């Protein structure tokens, strides 16, 4: 496989303002293309906004959602991809022909629509249906996969996507800076964001502490390390409806090392070159070869009562 150059972005989206959000996606895609990037990834529901869904009725959700791949936003993404000769990945709320709603992530390139994935563990709105299948697809000779936010906290999803051939897994999120039962979790005061030019230090302390990046570092690098895969993590920065998010979009290699990360307190894009050699050299490659599936096939497949509770969702 030839090297591929990938960018991950962070930006402050505007809830329900697709025109504005697509304009930022266009601008950051342009900047990435000027650096010779082949692929750029944006965060979960970056086109539609995310947390706003907590407040919307089913009718309002249907009005915000679009069909995939025939909706206007997908067409706009394809035009961006053609204009800058770059593959683009971005998220929105999808509605199908039966009126079901999904949290969906889309990949397009210069030739048109490539793939889409529906979040398997949605919880921001009771009107969202869960996806029921994994997605893999090819970009520049590389097999890629997608898992959205909470999907990555169920480790079986990451291993399954990797075993299906994905050496690059796109992990779009809207995460961090929310209450949880874990020590140190909680919201970050939006006033710190408003005052970031005068006092960036206080905001960075919150963003990088246990409310934010320190929590992310407890688990995200392990997803890459355990599976000997590249992880492309994208997350918004700034206000998402009434919640402040801390960005930290990053690319992690198969050794679990961060090789690119957005660190400014604003819209940003960073790039990294993805090479095949690391896939074979990383420890996770040996661990996968050492697996003995017969020992735990039935255990991992045991039935249980699936339950999902989110402390901050009221």
Residue written as token pair 């390139």: 109
Cβ atoms within 10 Å of 292's Cβ, excluding its own: 7
CA distance 270 to 250: 8
Separate counts of helices (H) and strands (E) for the chain: 11, 14
For 25-52, write each residue's pLDDT tens digit.
999 999 999 999 999 999 999 999 999 9
Pick 310 or 107 by higher pLDDT: 107
Both tokens of 117, joined, read: 């994935």
For 132-180, write each residue's pLDDT tens digit.
999 999 999 999 999 999 999 999 999 999 999 999 999 999 999 999 9
For residue 309, the model assigns a pLDDT of 53
Mean pLDDT of the 88-108 span: 97
CA distance 14 to 48: 8
For residue 312, the model assigns a pLDDT of 45
- C-beta separation of 22 from 73 below 8 A: yes
Contacts of 252 (CB under 8 A, 6+ apart): 220, 221, 223, 224, 230, 231, 233, 258, 259
- C-beta separation of 39 from 251 below 8 A: no
- All structural domains of the chain, each given as residue ranges with its CATH number in brackets, are 4-300 (3.60.110.10)
For residue 1, the model assigns a pLDDT of 86
Q: State what percent of residues in the chain have pLDDT above 70.
A: 98
- C-beta separation of 105 from 117 below 8 A: yes
> Cα 94 from chain centroid?
16
Would the pLDDT of 216 be above 80? yes
Mean pLDDT of the 107-133 span: 96
For residue 304, the model assigns a pLDDT of 86
For 57-85, write each residue's pLDDT tens digit.
999 999 999 999 999 999 999 999 999 99
Pick 309 or 53 by higher pLDDT: 53
Would the pLDDT of 247 be above 80? yes
Q: Assign 311 a pLDDT band (cuts: 50, 70, 90).
A: very low
For residue 218, the model assigns a pLDDT of 97
- Three-class SS of residue 227? helix
């Amino acid at each position: 496989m030839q090297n591929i150059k990938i960018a991950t972005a962070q930006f402050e989206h505007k809830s329900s303002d697709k025109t504005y959000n697509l304009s930022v996606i266009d601008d950051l895609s342009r900047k990435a293309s000027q650096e010779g990037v082949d692929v750029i990834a944006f965060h979960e529901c970056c086109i539609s906004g995310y947390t706003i869904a907590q407040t919307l009725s089913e009718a309002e959700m249907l009005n915000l959602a679009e069909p995939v791949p025939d909706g206007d936003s997908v067409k706009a993404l394809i035009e961006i991809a053609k204009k800058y000769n770059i593959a683009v990945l971005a998220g929105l709320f999808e509605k199908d022909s039966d009126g079901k709603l999904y949290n969906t992530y889309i990949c397009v390139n210069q030739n048109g629509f490539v793939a889409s994935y529906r979040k398997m563990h949605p919880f921001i709105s009771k009107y969202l249906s869960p996806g029921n299948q994994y997605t893999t697809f090819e970009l520049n000779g590389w097999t890629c996969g997608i898992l959205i936010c909470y999907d990555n906290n169920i480790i079986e999803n990451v291993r399954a996507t990797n075993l299906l051939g994905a050496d690059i897994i796109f992990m779009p999120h809207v995460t961090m800076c929310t209450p949880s039962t874990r020590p140190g979790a909680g919201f970050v005061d939006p006033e710190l964001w408003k005052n970031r030019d005068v006092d960036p230090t206080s905001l960075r302390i919150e963003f990088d502490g246990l409310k934010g990046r320190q929590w992310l570092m407890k688990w995200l690098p392990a997803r890459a390390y355990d599976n000997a895969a590249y992880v492309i993590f994208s997350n918004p920065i700034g206000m998402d409806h009434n919640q402040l998010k801390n960005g930290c979009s990053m690319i992690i290699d198969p050794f679990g090392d961060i090789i690119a990360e957005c660190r400014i307190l604003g819209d940003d894009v960073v790039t990294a070159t993805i090479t095949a050699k690391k896939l074979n050299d990383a420890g996770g490659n040996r661990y996968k070869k050492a697996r003995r599936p017969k020992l735990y096939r039935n255990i991992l497949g045991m039935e249980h009562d699936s339950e999902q509770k989110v402390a901050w969702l009221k």
